[in-house]
């Protein structure tokens, strides 16, 4: 059951990701991206990362994806939101490069003798993450908040009306 579910989720992720980068319609791409993000959230569940899975769904699916769809709608009509692919030679070259990269990385991955730690069945990660964020990673946490603030201001500045 677990293995089957895992394989299902893995296939979902790969297929939808392929669709994201090849779909001709931008809206289709966005929908496919939603599938990929949900799939990754599922994979987090298999990895006992319950908090991250939730965050993935809330922020990625609920936030970033919506943002992207807004971007699409602000710049194009949904019906004609056709992604113009780049020229054929370019695509071919990119495909070759990516293919070789894929082969190289895979072989590297399979040949590497990975260090294996003990597998622990954790019951929940929220408490640990919360404690870590407010103790050991407090500075990083604050820096991240400042980053968000800056991004907010920067985005507001960049997208303002010309004379507004």
Partner 1 sequence: MDVRTQFALIILFLPLASFVLQIFFGRRIGPRGVWISVAASFVTLILAASMLFTVVLGTPMNHYPEVAWFSVGDFSLTLGFQLDNIAVVLLVVVALISSLVHLYSVAYMKGDVRYTRYFGYLGIFTFSMNGIVLAHSLFMMYMFWELVGLSSYLLIGHWFEKESAANASKKAFLTNRVGDIGMFIGMMLLWMVTGTFTFQDLYALVDVEGANLFAGQMGLLTVAGIMVFMGAVGKSAQFPLHIWLPDAMEGPTPVSALIHAATMVAAGVYLTVRLFPILTPDALLFVATTGAITAVLGALTAITQNDIKRVLAYSTVSQLGYMIMAVGMGAQQAAFFHLGTHAMFKGLLFLCSGSVIHAMHHSLAHKGDHETDPQDMRNMGGLARRLPITYVTMFIGALAISGVPLFSGFLSKDAILAGTLAFAAEHHQWWAVLFPMAGFGAAAITAFYMFRLIFMTFHGKPADEQVRQQVHESPLVMTVPLMILAALSFAIIFTLPGVNPLHADGWFTRIIPQGENLTGFAQLGAAHLEHGFHEVHGLTMTLSFAVAGTGILLAIIFYLFRWLNAHAWAERLRRAGVYQLSFHKFYFDEIYDAIIYRPFLWLTGRAAWLDWEIWDQWFIDSWGRNTVRISNVSGYLDYTWLDQKVVDGFGHVIHWLGATGRKLQTGRIQNYIVWALAGGMIVFLVASSF
Partner 2 sequence: MDSLQSYLFISITLFCLGLYGVMTRRNGVAVLMGIELILNAANLNFVAFNRFGGLSDQLPGHIFALFVIVMAAAEAVVALAIIINLYKTFHTVNVDEAHEMKG
How far apart CA 13 and CA 78 sit, in angstroms, is: 25
Q: Put residue 11 in one of left, alpha, beta given phi > 0 → left and psi -120 to 50 → alpha.
A: alpha
22: closest CA among 68, 86, 71?
Answer: 86
Binding of residue 144 to partner 2 (CB under 8 A) = yes
Residues 40-79: x where in contact with partner 2 by CB under 8 A, - otherwise, as a string: x--xx-xxxx-xx--xx--xx--xx--xx-xxx-xxx---
Distance in Å, CB of 69 to partner 1, minimum: 23
**Closer Cβ to partner 1, 22 or 86, answer by number:** 86
Q: Which residues bind partner 1 (CB under 8 A)?
A: 86, 90, 93-94, 97-98, 100-101, 104
Distance in Å, CB of 79 to partner 2, minimum: 15
Partner interacting with residue 21 (select from partner 2, partner 1, none; CB below 5-8 Å by kind)? partner 2
Q: How far apart are the two ends of the chain, measured CA to CA in Å?
A: 58
Which residue bears the tokens 């899975």? 53
**Closer Cβ to partner 1, 102 or 141, answer by number:** 102
How far apart CA 84 and CA 97 sit, in angstroms, is: 21
Task: For 50-65, give one letter per residue: b (16+ CB within 10 A) or e.
Answer: eebbeebbeebbeeeb
Residues 105-124: x where in contact with partner 2 by CB under 8 A, - otherwise, as a string: xx--xx---xxxxxxx-x--
16-45 positions binding partner 2, by CB under 8 A: 17-18, 20-21, 26, 29-30, 33, 36-37, 40, 43-44
**Closer Cβ to partner 2, 79 or 133, answer by number:** 133
Other beta carbons within 10 angstroms of residue 17's beta carbon come to: 17
């Amino acid at each position: 059951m677990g293995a089957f579910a895992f394989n299902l989720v893995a296939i979902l992720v790969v297929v939808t990701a392929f669709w994201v980068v090849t779909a001709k319609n931008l809206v289709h791409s966005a929908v496919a991206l939603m599938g990929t993000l949900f799939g990754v959230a599922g994979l987090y569940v298999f990895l006992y990362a319950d908090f991250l899975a939730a965050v993935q769904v809330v922020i990625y699916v609920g936030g970033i994806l919506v943002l992207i769809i807004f971007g699409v709608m602000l710049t194009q009509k949904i019906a004609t939101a056709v992604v113009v692919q780049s020229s054929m030679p370019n695509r071919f070259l990119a495909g070759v490069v990516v293919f070789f990269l894929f082969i190289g990385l895979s072989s590297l991955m399979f040949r590497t003798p990975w260090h294996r730690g003990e597998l622990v069945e954790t019951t929940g990660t929220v408490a640990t993450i919360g404690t870590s964020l407010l103790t050991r990673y407090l500075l990083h946490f604050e820096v991240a908040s400042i980053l968000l603030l800056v991004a907010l201001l920067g985005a507001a500045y960049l997208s303002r009306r010309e004379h507004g």
